[in-house]
Structure 1
């Protein structure tokens, strides 16, 4: 089984103030034509809202994946709606290095018999470093204690200004999943390209394309959910907006 670590963690780290002990709120609402996590497609189209609260260097929040349409059963993620709860601590180690660590609890309300149902819900701890240098590289390690799996992932990003309020944002990630107890280890990657427009000092809108996949045997991107045919990689698109208060 696969579980999803939400991109809201990245939003949370960005929203944590460097030193001020103030309460901050950030929100993000996205629509993605595929829900792909670590190279594996878990749903077709989904709405993905998120909210993060921060105070000083601490943050906590929730991220959702809400399937759209009727084609989200097997061979896609059979658990329906997903709710990921996370909390962490992020702080600068130097002028260019920031440390981040926390825990995520992945829940599936439609499938679980209770909030702590270990047959579907899982716990994962994470820690990583991000660097304020060209390409903004980062490296993270994740450990899912329920699935006995470790993931190492690195990422880069770059933003090209197109106009006063518009930018062309590129991102890329590469990771490796190590599955204990006879599971399948695999390599995955993804690339994103977004056009972003800042409609205010604290809010922005974006639309863009994604490409990703993995080297899992038999493929991990579902080409036809009705026939259940798989490809090793695929394209999809997304649109959304984010705001902070």
Structure 2
């Protein structure tokens, strides 16, 4: 009987602990559609779906989080490659499918400032061939402020690309319910500015991995280091269907000062597959619990 009571007590305690854990666990996700996939002002793909999911759990006064974000192009973009006016093949515009795994810890050091530390593993399943970079690992550290315009500054370093990045951002949400009587409707805006520098990842050898199919004798520069500044703005009309579900539609614009040489993420310069200035549209369906 004593053993039975003890067993029941253990099961009850475990059940209670499990219930407490689940009640503190948060989950959020989005299903996005973008007319272009533009990352740090560089176009990497055309029309794409971008589903994501993130889990969070409170730890030591902060929030531990981990998630997965993906980009799934509907139709991979390509561009013609010519040598002396003669077509020699095509180059894929960007990296095709992308799957990012990330984890981090955010801690409010004061009522205003929050620090954020984490890492992201970028995986490009379709990137292949000699010299191709199909995965990279990046760490980041950021500070954000809970004041007007929600300013934030983040520092990034990618070990595989030897890439450093500093990005500043601001954002503002205008509640239209106060002015139009439309409860749950808002306009969310944002702006960002970044400075990126990528080291030479060629290892001293020329590569030919952006061509599809590869062309004998046609190789990329030995020194594929690059750097540029960029910026952009976003604007979304957001509607909260409920406390946990929302949707949005909006427009984005970005610009960079990169040229037509150098390399970004092992896939050519930021402007190789598109203009230095991009305008595109996007929509999101999101949930959080």
Aligned length: 216
In angstroms, what is the RMSD of aligned CA positions?
A: 2.2
Cα distance change of structure 1 residues 104 and 169 upon mapping to structure 2, 3 Å threshold:
same
Q: Give how far 1:22 is off.
A: 1.3
Provide, for residues 139-179 of structure 1, a one-character-per-residue CA deviation record: whole Å limited to 9, x for no partner.
00000000001000010000111122100111000000022
In structure 2, C-alpha distance between the alignment counterparts of 1:232 and 1:71, rounded to whole Å: 17
In structure 2, C-alpha distance between the alignment counterparts of 1:165 and 1:151, rounded to whole Å: 36
Please state whether the residue corresponding to 1:200 is helix, strand or coil: coil
CA contact (8 A) 2:234 2:250 kept: yes
What is the TM-score with the length of structure 2 in the denominator?
0.70
Unaligned regions of 5+ residues in structure 2, if any?
1-21, 80-90, 178-182, 201-222, 261-268
Q: Does 1:195 align with 2:237?
A: yes
Q: Which of these two proteins has the greater Rg computed from alpha carbons?
A: 2
In structure 2, C-alpha distance between the alignment counterparts of 1:98 and 1:140, rounded to whole Å: 12
Please state whether the residue corresponding to 2:226 is helix, strand or coil: coil
CA contact (8 A) 2:125 2:134 kept: no
Q: Give how far 1:45 is off.
A: 0.8
In structure 1, C-alpha distance between the alignment counterparts of 2:278 and 2:68, rounded to whole Å: 28
Return the structure number with greater helix share.
2
Unaligned regions of 5+ residues in structure 1, if any?
1-19, 223-227
Q: Does 1:64 align with 2:83?
A: no
In structure 1, C-alpha distance between the alignment counterparts of 2:286 and 2:239, rounded to whole Å: 11
CA contact (8 A) 1:118 1:146 kept: no
- Hey, what does 2:151 align to over in structure 1? 137
CA contact (8 A) 2:188 2:237 kept: yes
Provide, for residues 19-64 of structure 1, a one-character-per-residue CA deviation record: whole Å limited to 9, x for no partner.
x981110001100011001110000110000000111111101000
